[in-house]
Amino acid sequence: MIVDSSPIHFSIKVADFERDLSDIFAIRTRVFQDEQGVDPAMEFDGLDQTATHFLAYDGETAIGTARIRFLDTHTAKLERVAVLANLRKHGIGRKIVETALEFLANKNISDLRIHAQISVVAFYQKLGFVTEGEGFEEAGIPHIKMNYKFP
Protein backbone atom coordinates (compact mmCIF):
# COMPACT_ATOMS: atom_id res chain seq x y z
CA MET A 1 0.00 0.00 0.00
CA ILE A 2 1.31 3.44 -0.93
CA VAL A 3 0.54 6.39 1.35
CA ASP A 4 0.85 9.88 -0.12
CA SER A 5 1.92 13.02 1.74
CA SER A 6 -0.12 15.61 -0.20
CA PRO A 7 -2.58 17.92 1.65
CA ILE A 8 -5.21 15.22 1.18
CA HIS A 9 -3.92 12.11 2.87
CA PHE A 10 -4.78 9.05 0.86
CA SER A 11 -3.60 5.50 0.35
CA ILE A 12 -3.73 3.26 -2.69
CA LYS A 13 -4.05 -0.49 -2.72
CA VAL A 14 -4.59 -3.35 -5.11
CA ALA A 15 -8.25 -4.09 -4.58
CA ASP A 16 -9.87 -7.37 -3.67
CA PHE A 17 -12.54 -7.32 -6.36
CA GLU A 18 -15.19 -9.30 -4.49
CA ARG A 19 -14.75 -7.35 -1.25
CA ASP A 20 -14.24 -3.93 -2.88
CA LEU A 21 -16.75 -4.22 -5.73
CA SER A 22 -19.20 -1.72 -4.25
CA ASP A 23 -16.49 0.94 -3.77
CA ILE A 24 -15.14 0.44 -7.30
CA PHE A 25 -18.57 0.61 -8.91
CA ALA A 26 -19.72 3.57 -6.78
CA ILE A 27 -16.80 5.72 -7.96
CA ARG A 28 -17.19 4.70 -11.59
CA THR A 29 -20.94 5.32 -11.49
CA ARG A 30 -20.43 8.85 -10.15
CA VAL A 31 -17.63 9.73 -12.58
CA PHE A 32 -18.60 8.00 -15.80
CA GLN A 33 -22.39 7.77 -15.65
CA ASP A 34 -23.44 10.71 -13.50
CA GLU A 35 -20.79 13.23 -14.65
CA GLN A 36 -20.06 12.10 -18.19
CA GLY A 37 -23.29 10.38 -19.23
CA VAL A 38 -21.69 7.05 -20.19
CA ASP A 39 -24.20 4.26 -20.77
CA PRO A 40 -24.04 1.75 -17.88
CA ALA A 41 -23.88 -1.12 -20.41
CA MET A 42 -20.63 0.34 -21.78
CA GLU A 43 -19.18 1.14 -18.37
CA PHE A 44 -19.93 -2.22 -16.79
CA ASP A 45 -18.71 -4.38 -19.65
CA GLY A 46 -18.38 -7.75 -17.94
CA LEU A 47 -14.56 -7.58 -17.88
CA ASP A 48 -14.13 -6.46 -14.28
CA GLN A 49 -13.85 -9.91 -12.73
CA THR A 50 -10.71 -10.75 -14.71
CA ALA A 51 -9.06 -7.34 -14.23
CA THR A 52 -6.72 -6.10 -11.50
CA HIS A 53 -8.26 -3.12 -9.73
CA PHE A 54 -6.68 -0.29 -7.74
CA LEU A 55 -8.45 1.83 -5.14
CA ALA A 56 -7.49 5.11 -3.52
CA TYR A 57 -8.84 5.79 -0.04
CA ASP A 58 -9.07 8.85 2.15
CA GLY A 59 -9.37 7.06 5.48
CA GLU A 60 -12.16 4.54 4.93
CA THR A 61 -13.70 6.44 2.01
CA ALA A 62 -12.97 5.24 -1.53
CA ILE A 63 -12.07 8.25 -3.70
CA GLY A 64 -10.44 6.87 -6.86
CA THR A 65 -10.03 3.72 -8.90
CA ALA A 66 -8.55 2.17 -12.03
CA ARG A 67 -8.29 -1.26 -13.55
CA ILE A 68 -5.73 -3.15 -15.62
CA ARG A 69 -6.54 -5.93 -18.03
CA PHE A 70 -3.87 -8.20 -19.45
CA LEU A 71 -4.37 -8.44 -23.22
CA ASP A 72 -1.56 -10.95 -23.78
CA THR A 73 1.68 -11.97 -22.09
CA HIS A 74 3.41 -8.65 -22.86
CA THR A 75 0.55 -6.16 -23.21
CA ALA A 76 -1.86 -4.68 -20.69
CA LYS A 77 -4.52 -1.99 -20.87
CA LEU A 78 -5.18 0.65 -18.21
CA GLU A 79 -8.88 1.46 -18.00
CA ARG A 80 -11.55 3.14 -15.91
CA VAL A 81 -9.21 5.62 -14.22
CA ALA A 82 -11.55 7.73 -12.09
CA VAL A 83 -11.24 10.15 -9.17
CA LEU A 84 -14.21 11.82 -7.50
CA ALA A 85 -14.70 15.32 -8.91
CA ASN A 86 -14.23 17.23 -5.65
CA LEU A 87 -10.86 15.53 -5.06
CA ARG A 88 -9.22 15.99 -8.45
CA LYS A 89 -6.03 18.04 -8.87
CA HIS A 90 -4.52 16.63 -5.64
CA GLY A 91 -2.29 13.97 -7.24
CA ILE A 92 -4.65 11.07 -6.59
CA GLY A 93 -5.02 10.05 -10.24
CA ARG A 94 -1.28 10.39 -10.78
CA LYS A 95 -0.56 8.15 -7.79
CA ILE A 96 -3.10 5.56 -8.95
CA VAL A 97 -1.42 5.38 -12.37
CA GLU A 98 2.07 5.30 -10.82
CA THR A 99 0.95 2.45 -8.56
CA ALA A 100 -0.37 0.57 -11.59
CA LEU A 101 2.95 1.14 -13.41
CA GLU A 102 4.89 -0.16 -10.40
CA PHE A 103 2.59 -3.18 -10.22
CA LEU A 104 3.20 -3.97 -13.90
CA ALA A 105 6.97 -3.40 -13.77
CA ASN A 106 7.51 -6.92 -12.44
CA LYS A 107 4.95 -8.64 -14.65
CA ASN A 108 6.99 -8.95 -17.89
CA ILE A 109 4.74 -6.36 -19.56
CA SER A 110 6.42 -4.25 -22.24
CA ASP A 111 3.44 -2.18 -23.43
CA LEU A 112 0.63 -0.53 -21.49
CA ARG A 113 -2.20 0.88 -23.56
CA ILE A 114 -4.95 3.31 -22.70
CA HIS A 115 -7.82 4.95 -24.54
CA ALA A 116 -7.42 8.40 -22.98
CA GLN A 117 -10.09 11.06 -23.03
CA ILE A 118 -8.73 14.00 -25.01
CA SER A 119 -9.22 16.28 -21.99
CA VAL A 120 -6.60 14.33 -19.98
CA VAL A 121 -3.94 13.61 -22.64
CA ALA A 122 -1.46 16.02 -20.99
CA PHE A 123 -1.95 14.21 -17.66
CA TYR A 124 -0.90 10.90 -19.22
CA GLN A 125 1.93 12.47 -21.22
CA LYS A 126 3.47 13.71 -17.96
CA LEU A 127 3.48 10.09 -16.80
CA GLY A 128 5.32 8.90 -19.91
CA PHE A 129 2.48 7.87 -22.22
CA VAL A 130 2.64 8.80 -25.92
CA THR A 131 -0.27 9.29 -28.28
CA GLU A 132 -0.81 6.94 -31.20
CA GLY A 133 -2.88 7.57 -34.30
CA GLU A 134 -5.92 9.74 -34.68
CA GLY A 135 -8.60 10.58 -32.17
CA PHE A 136 -11.85 8.63 -32.03
CA GLU A 137 -15.10 8.64 -30.11
CA GLU A 138 -15.84 6.13 -27.37
CA ALA A 139 -19.01 6.28 -25.28
CA GLY A 140 -19.76 9.63 -26.94
CA ILE A 141 -16.49 11.15 -25.62
CA PRO A 142 -13.42 12.08 -27.74
CA HIS A 143 -10.49 9.74 -27.03
CA ILE A 144 -7.05 8.92 -28.38
CA LYS A 145 -4.94 5.80 -28.05
CA MET A 146 -1.85 6.19 -25.88
CA ASN A 147 0.94 3.79 -25.04
CA TYR A 148 3.51 3.45 -22.26
CA LYS A 149 6.67 1.45 -23.00
CA PHE A 150 8.37 -0.21 -20.06
CA PRO A 151 12.19 -0.10 -20.08
pLDDT in tens, 22-48: 999 999 999 999 999 999 888 889 999
Domain range holding 83? 2-149
What integer pLDDT is reported at residue 87 of this predicted model?
Answer: 93
Mean pLDDT of the chain: 93
What integer pLDDT is reported at residue 9 of this predicted model?
Answer: 85
Residue 105 burial (C-beta neighbours within 10 Å; 0-12, 13-18, 19+): exposed
Is pLDDT above 60 for 6? no
Percent of the chain with pLDDT over 90: 87
- Average the pLDDT over 89-107 and give the result: 95
Domain count along the chain: 1
The pLDDT-based confidence of 65 (bands split at 50, 70, 90) is very high
- Average the pLDDT over 12-22 and give the result: 95
CATH code, domain with 118: 3.40.630.30
